[in-house]
Chains A and B, each alone.
Chain A
Amino acid sequence: MAWDKIGIAKRIAQEVQDGTYVNLGIGIPTLVANYIPEGMEVELQSENGILGMGPFPFEGEEDADLINAGKQTVTLRPGSSIFDSAMSFGMIRAQKVDLTILGAMEVSENGDIANWKVPGKMVKGMGGAMDLVASAKNIIVAMQHCDKAGNSKLLPQCSLPLTGIQCIKKVVTDLGVFDIRDGAFHLVELAPDVTLEEVVAKTAGKLVV
């Protein structure tokens, strides 16, 4: 059994360090917040202007003025702070945020990422993704190993328009965990019951086992 979305989120949660500031993207990355080990202190940053973001509010307690970067209603944890968008991206650019976790359509063996635009399809925009990948100290990508047609998303080079270059350090897919360094994907761990043969067959970029 390869990892499902929750499996990927649980595995990434193991990479999160105690006492750090973390920005979570939309999709699987958001789920990571649910699996941060008990007793660990992690402060979540939301780029619309929150440090110390909490879970969704209870029904009836939603506040239209309090949303996350995905425009969902959220809450604040004790010790949280609110700031404007310039300061939010200021702290990202100045590398005060320790870890960024985001989704991707493609990642290349030299750490390039494409996740904002498919030519010919409706383009919604990059939001804060280009700012995050250009500046973050440590970036982990959460994604499926292959697209719906079965094509590898771990490539020699990205075919889609880029979001950032040479910035991704680690990729966690349904099949396993991969570090990116020296122009290759280095296999760190296989997901349960996934064979090395399957990973080799489904990784188009350079793979070091």
Chain B
Amino acid sequence: MGFNKVYKSAKDACEGIESGMTLLVGGFGLCGIPENCIAELVEKKINNLTCISNNAGVDDFGLGLLLQGKQVKKMISSYVGENAEFERQMLSGELEVELIPQGTLATRCMAAGYGMPAVYTPAGVGTEVAEGKEVREFNGKKYLMEMAFDADFAIVKAWKGDAMGNLVFRSTARNFNPMMAMAGKITIAEVEELVPLGELNPDHIHTPGIYVHRIFQGEKFEKRIEQRTVRQKI
């Protein structure tokens, strides 16, 4: 009885994700991606997935792993193509790609989590992004109506979490994770550290547990760096 949100592994937490479903996948580049759930989806060998994620990973990491196995039917992203297999599948028509502005992507998640069917944003007015969309003028400026996302599952990654599903993110690994957590019909959170109830300061929680249905501590986090840039000590 009770809430029972804690799962013991990615395999258990990803129960019910099936071929043909739409998934929101957190992360920006390779930063803050749900590595353990992605590995499990590869293992499950499900396909025809629609993935909503800002980026599509690299050839051998992140969502690139799902692309390698031809498990993705459609990507909805703002910036893609950091990997060769993605490019090949896109150009050959095997993979459908819908490119949308980054802020629009974030806001369509936010709208879902806030219970709003649509939002108005000026991003894309006068461009091909506006094709087929309602344009409305407010105070002399044009805006596009953008619909809230409707996804079966959201898969996110947090730094710390507790059994109630409360989440705390670390640094820029926060990115799309909080609003995707809010937008899933079922939200799965993988955390680096599952802490006892009461350890997280309620004032410091980024995502309240009401938005999180399943939580587990990831087995391992590689946390790969996409562009290692440094400066020399003088």
Contact = CB atoms under 8 A, between A and B. Distances in A.
B101 interface: yes
B225 A162 contact: no
B43 interface: no
A173 interface: no
Q: Chain A contact residues: over half helix, strand or loop, or mixed?
A: loop
A130 B124 contact: yes
A135 B179 contact: no
A135 B122 contact: yes
Contact of A161 (B32, B77, B103, B128): B128
Contact of B121 (A57, A67, A131, A161): A131
Classify chain B: how many residues form its interface, as a range: 35 or more
Classify chain A: how many residues form its interface, as a range: 35 or more
Contact of A86 (B106, B227, B228): B106
Interface string B167-191: 0011111111111000000000000
A71 B227 contact: yes
A18 interface: no
Contacts of A123: 81, 99
Contacts of B129: 126, 130
Interface stretch (A43-51, A140-148, A180-188): A43-51
A124 B103 contact: no
Contacts of A163: 127
Given A56-B230, A82-B172, A125-B80, A65 B126 contact: no
A4 interface: no
B43 to A, nearest CB: 24
Given A89-B106, A125-B99, A128-B101, A65 B170 contact: yes
Given A64-B224, A65-B173, A128-B78, A89 B231 contact: no
A72 B230 CA distance: 9
A131 B127 CA distance: 12
A67 B33 CA distance: 13
B8 interface: no
Interface string B219-234: 0000111111111110
A130 B232 CA distance: 35
Given A71-B29, A84-B178, A88-B106, A126 B101 contact: yes
A70 interface: yes
A203 interface: no
A61 B200 CA distance: 27
Contacts of A47: 102-103
Contact of B231 (A49, A58, A124): A58
Most buried by A among B78, B81, B106, B172: B172
Interface string A81-124: 01111101110110000000000000000001000000000111
B170 to A, nearest CB: 5
A85 B54 contact: yes
B110 interface: yes
Contacts of A127: 78-79, 101-102
Top 10 closest A-B pairs, CB basis?
A: A89-B103, A131-B103, A165-B126, A64-B223, A134-B122, A85-B106, A130-B101, A125-B79, A128-B102, A71-B29
Given A64-B225, A68-B172, A165-B126, 14 more contacts: A46-B172, A47-B103, A62-B225, A64-B224, A65-B172, A72-B227, A72-B229, A73-B225, A85-B176, A88-B103, A124-B80, A126-B78, A162-B128, A166-B126
12 contacts: A56-B231, A66-B172, A67-B172, A67-B227, A70-B227, A71-B28, A73-B230, A84-B179, A85-B102, A127-B101, A135-B122, A164-B126
